[in-house]
Structure formats: structure tokens, C-alpha cells
Amino acid sequence: MSIQIYIDGKFYAKENAKISVFDHGLLYGDGVFEGIRSYDSCIFKLEEHLDRLWESAHTLMIEIPMSKAEMQKAIIQTLKRNGFTDSYIRCIVTRGVGDLGLDPSLCKVPTVIIITDKIKLYPEAFYVNGLNIITVPTVRNLPEAVNPSIKSLNYLNNILAKIEAKNSGCVEALMLNHQGYVAECTGDNIFMVKYQQGSAAKAELLTPPTYLGALKGITRQGIIEIAAKQKLRFEERVMTRHDLFNADEVFLTGTAAEVIPVVKIDGRVIGSGKPGAVTQKLLKGFREIVRKDGIRYSI
């Protein structure tokens, strides 16, 4: 059976799911989205994802033509239609159909799309052995231009960074902001762990503040909450590549990536060159909450 796609209140088989070529989401990347995960029929932090979707749309002055409760119901309907208990969910809201000009006022009704499918961002070997990443020339969008807090459909900045990483033989790229400070990776937040007195038992967890260009990630926040439960000292801190190079552990977080260790950056081995104890403990804590912290549904 073909995967069913939700578009504006109706379901279409994957091969027949289409939008107008005049939709400004297609023409200009004028829209917003959220990537969400369900685990064993539990949609992880759905309310937080919908809050962020509405915030992004509000900033772009896109009025989503349904309530959050209706969006939640539509997401669950889509999951049930496809029989998914474990799924990647993509919610998209575009400006809607207009003309070939930029004027957003000509787009009368936003387009709402919900896609559910499987996703495997990285091979399992990377979770076991860690990632090798590289810093790329493309910097994170300036907040004064396209604010990184907005999850917009225009991901060209991130795509250029991904191309640069792939051209260098890496699967992921570290992006700095325009001041040269660490922001995030192409689709994931970044954390570093620094041992105190050489001990992982006295470790400090650090991540760049969002005002430097990092997205306020839902998984990022989940890891911060898990760190607090594990009595792990945490701080948002301005950091440079030098700080990352000399970290004891580094890992990335994201909806699709979940929690994945980094063992080399720009040719520098991080810590022991293997996924560290703190990363593994946080990953274990994350896997324990994903089936509890969210909205449950039944197929």
C-alpha cells in the first residue's frame, strides 16, 4: 500500500500528492516546517514541536488555517492511515498559492502538508564509532537576515554547508556564525563535554547559546533536561573551534539524528577518539524518555 500524504484536509497516495507550481513554498521557500518523531505509538514532544511551528509561522505572518488541536488530530490520522507506530513526521505550512511575484498578500490560503515515513539519517556504524565532521566556509544565517530560530522551508544555507562537507568526504558540517563562534551543524545542535579534574564523573556539559545562531532544538532541550536529572553540570557558553578541539567529548542532537557522537573535527581527534561515557549515558537517558514524553495514539 502506498504511503498516504495529508494535504489540506485530504489524503493522497504518495505518487499523487501534489501542490500547485504557484505555491510560494515551492517558488520561494516561503513557509515553515517541523520534523517530529513517534516511538512505539508515542509522538515525542508533539506539543513543543507545534508551539515552535506556530511561532515560526507567526514571525513570517503566516496564519495556519487550523488550531493546534486540529493539527495534532491530523498528524495522528496520518500515522494511523499509514499504520506507523515508529515514524518520522514532517509538518509543512507554506504561504500558499499566489502568482510569480513576491507579494505574500496574494497568497490567500496557506497550504498544510503532513508526511509520515521512515528515516535513517546516519548508518548505525556512526552511532557506534562516532562522526568525523569538518568546519565549512558557509556561515549560519544572521539573525538580522533569516533568523535561525525560524524553521523555514528555505534551507539553502544548510544545504550549501552540507555540500561543502560531502565534497570534503564528511557527512556533516560544523557551521560558525558571522563572528566565528560555533553555532551548530547543518541540521543538528552541538554539545561538548569537558571533564573536571580528568574525570567523566565530574563532567561539564556545554552548548552554544541560541542567540549565536543555534536553533532552539527540541531534542537539544530534551538533553538539557536529562542532564539536570543526571546531576550533570550544564551551561550555555560562547565557544570557538579551539574549545571543541580540546573537548573530552562532542555529540550532536536532532530529531532525525537523535544523539550521535563526534570523534574528530577538522582532523583533530576528540578526547579518546571514541564515543565517551557522558554521551552514552545521555543517549541512554534519551532513549528512555522518547516513549513516555509525548502524545500517545493507537493504530
Neighbours of 92 (CB within 10 A): 20
120 pLDDT band (50/70/90 cuts)? Answer: confident
> What CA–CA distance (Å, rounded) separates 214 from 278?
22
Q: What is the assigned CATH class of domain 124-289?
A: alpha beta
**Per-residue confidence (pLDDT) for residue 223, from 0 to 100:** 98
- Answer whether residue 13 shows pLDDT above 80: yes
> What CA–CA distance (Å, rounded) separates 278 from 210?
23
Percent of the chain with pLDDT over 90: 93
Report, as an integer, the average pLDDT of 32-41: 97
239 pLDDT band (50/70/90 cuts)? Answer: very high
Distances from the Cα of 85 to the Cα of 48, 201, 286, 296, angstroms: 20, 36, 18, 10
Higher pLDDT, 147 or 49: 49
Q: Do residues 208 and 253 make contact, with C-beta atoms less than 8 angstroms apart?
A: no
**Per-residue confidence (pLDDT) for residue 144, from 0 to 100:** 82
Single out the residue of 135, 123, 167 nearest to residue 264, CA to CA: 135
Q: What is the 3-state secondary structure (H, E, C) of the chain?
A: CCCEEEECCEEEEHHHCCCCCCEHHHHHCCEEEEEEEEECCEEECHHHHHHHHHHHHHHCCCCCCCCHHHHHHHHHHHHHHHCCCCEEEEEEEECCECCCCCCHHHCCCCEEEEEEECCCCCCHHHHHHCEEEEECCCCCCCCCCCCCCCCECCCHHHHHHHHHHHHCCCCCEEEECCCCCEEEECCCEEEEEEEECCEEEEEEEEECCHHHCCCCCHHHHHHHHHHHHCCCEEEECCCCHHHHHCCCEEEEEECCCEEEEEEEECCEECCCCCCCHHHHHHHHHHHHHCCCCEEECCC
**Per-residue confidence (pLDDT) for residue 234, from 0 to 100:** 97
Higher pLDDT, 148 or 283: 283
Q: Do residues 131 and 261 make contact, with C-beta atoms less than 8 angstroms apart?
A: yes
Place of cell 577538522: 266
Amino acid in the structure at residue 78 = T
pTM score of the predicted model: 0.95
- Answer whether residue 148 shows pLDDT above 90: no
> What CA–CA distance (Å, rounded) separates 74 from 8?
10
- Answer whether residue 266 shows pLDDT above 90: yes
224 pLDDT band (50/70/90 cuts)? Answer: very high
Q: Please check whether the two domains, 4-117 and 124-289, share a CATH topology.
A: no
Q: Do residues 152 and 32 make contact, with C-beta atoms less than 8 angstroms apart?
A: yes
Tens of pLDDT, residue by residue over 170-214, are 999 999 999 999 999 999 999 999 999 888 888 999 999 999 999
Report the chain's mean pLDDT, rounded to a whole number.
96
Report, as an integer, the average pLDDT of 220-242: 97
Report, as an integer, the average pLDDT of 262-269: 98
Report, as an integer, the average pLDDT of 56-62: 98
Distances from the Cα of 220 to the Cα of 50, 224, 227, angstroms: 16, 6, 11
Q: Is the dihedral of CA 267, 272, 275, 276 positive or negative?
A: negative
Fold of the CATH domain 4-117: D-amino Acid Aminotransferase; Chain A, domain 1 (3.30.470)
**Per-residue confidence (pLDDT) for residue 143, from 0 to 100:** 82
Structural domain boundaries in the chain = 4-117, 124-289
List the beta bridge partners of residue 39. 42
**Per-residue confidence (pLDDT) for residue 298, from 0 to 100:** 94
Distances from the Cα of 83 to the Cα of 38, 78, 87, 135, angstroms: 12, 9, 10, 40
**Per-residue confidence (pLDDT) for residue 131, from 0 to 100:** 97
Tens of pLDDT, residue by residue over 75-109, are 999 999 999 999 999 999 999 999 999 999 999 99
